[in-house]
């Protein structure tokens, strides 16, 4: 069994890159800001990046930040259904 110690930020970052490529730079920028904010804090950084958070916790922190942002990201269909662990 694998431990959940890796950063899921790369997967989320690839989503930001795809959105930028598809012509949604505002969504891409919002995701990148959320990733940068999460990685800046050791409490939400995964062990591979020198933090203590699990992959789930780091991913939840990114989603929570996106849900708090004003504009089209916060109004995305289905985002209100995401419940942090």
Task: State the average pLDDT over residues 50-62.
Answer: 89
Phi-psi region of 50 (alpha: psi -120 to 50; beta: other; left: phi over 0): left
Task: State the average pLDDT over residues 63-73.
Answer: 78
- Using pLDDT thresholds of 50, 70 and 90, give the confidence band for residue 85: very low
Task: State the average pLDDT over residues 20-41.
Answer: 91
Residue 49, exposed/middle/buried by CB under 10 A (0-12, 13-18, 19+)? middle
At CA 46, angle to CA 41 and CA 50, rounded to 5? 70
Distance of CA 49 to the CA centre of its chain: 15
pLDDT, greater one: 69 or 80:
69
Domain ranges of the chain: 9-81
């Amino acid at each position: 069994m694998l431990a959940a110690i890796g950063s899921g930020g790369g997967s989320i970052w690839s989503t930001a890159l795809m959105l930028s490529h598809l012509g949604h730079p505002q969504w891409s920028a919002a995701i990148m800001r959320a990733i940068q904010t999460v990685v800046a804090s050791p409490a939400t950084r995964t062990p591979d990046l020198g933090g203590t958070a699990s992959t789930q916790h780091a991913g939840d922190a990114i989603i929570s930040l996106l849900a708090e942002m004003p504009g089209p990201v916060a109004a995305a269909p289905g985002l209100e259904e995401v419940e942090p662990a």
